[in-house]
Amino acid sequence: MSPDPGLREVPFRGGGFAPGNRRIAAPLTFAALVLLWWVATARGWVSPLALPRPGEVASALADMVASGEIWRHLAASVRRLVVGWAIGASLGVAVGFAIGLSTLARSTALPLVSALFPIPKIALLPLFIVWFGIGEASKYATIAFGVFSPMAIAAFGGVDGVERSLIRMAQSFGVPNRDIVRKIVLPGAMPALLSGVRISASIGIILLTAAEMIGAEHGIGALVLSAGNLMQTDRLIAGVLILAGLGLIVAFLIGVAERRLLGWR
């Protein structure tokens, strides 16, 4: 088929931005950073007081693995993260759905959530100690409190974003409200919920260090703090790397959940 004179063939341009994933790129980025770090410390560009060498950090990590110390820290931190996040996220989702579905909740709870979100949870730590003690409860509370608001906001945003026509159609077919929530609203809000999970899990990891400032003998946050107090910069960086690793693992798990739960898209 020959093109009409005066008409120009136009290549397809609407490909959109499609960021793919080159598997090799992420490890390469990390390797380049470590190489830069190694060269900077080995050549003396950075004083050993300011930054330990990668080898020292690696041997600090190896010592922690060999003595089993790292597992005690990880076990304590992961438990705090899971329990604290689960409490905060389930409350947040419940309140977020209520805001998305009911006028009463929207007019009462929404301003409350908006007011709670910017409160620095670290500033409330002394109060949490008075309320919940210096044991595990205050640590769960710190994380739960920090996770609650972003989850609530993600949930009600997700509910608001569900196609209205789908809900109206279900209502006109006489589907009970419970089923509308379960079969239309929940799957429709799922992408927003999962991005809320992504953000709130990272906030949980950040708050882990704050939660473990008070009265924690074990935990990655406690490890980082005590290494800082002791000026053991190799253990400090090792602890920070473990926190970063925790972040990567959480991100990976959420990626798996996304592929499973959003397969229908």
Partner 1 sequence: MARVGRRTVLAGVAAGLLAGAFGSTAFAADKVTVGVLRFVSSGGLYLAVERGHFAAEGLEVELKFFEAAQPIAVAIASGDAEFGLTGITAGSLNLAGKGGLKIVASQGAEKKGFIGNQLVASNEAFGRGLDKPEKLAGATVAISQVGSTFHYQFGQIAAAKGFELSKISMKPLQSLPNMVAAVKTSQVDATILPTHIAGPMVDRGEAKIIAALSDIADYQYGALFAAPKAVAEKRDVVQRFVRAYQKGLADYGASLMRSDAGGKRVADEAAATAATQIAKYVYPSDPPAEGAAKVIASAPYCDPTGKLDLAGIEAQIAWYKSEKLVDAGVDAKAFVDLSFTR
**Footprint of partner 1 (CB under 8 A):** 48-49, 126, 129-130, 133-135, 213-217, 222, 225-226, 229-232
Distant-in-sequence, close-in-space partners of 181: CB < 8 Å, separation ≥ 6: 97, 101
Phi, psi values for residue 220, rounded to 5°: -65, -40
- 124 or 194: CB nearest partner 1: 124
Q: What is the DSSP letter of 47?
A: -
- 59 or 202: CB nearest partner 1: 59
Distance of CA 63 to the CA centre of its chain: 29
CA angle 236, 227, 204 (to 5 degrees): 65
Angle between helical axes of 233-261 and 69-101 (0-180°, round to 10): 40
Distances in whole angstroms, Cα of residue 144 to Cα of each of 30, 83, 133, 135: 31, 8, 16, 15
Least separation in angstroms between residue 138's CB and partner 1 is 10
- 155 or 216: CB nearest partner 1: 216
- 170 or 206: CB nearest partner 1: 206
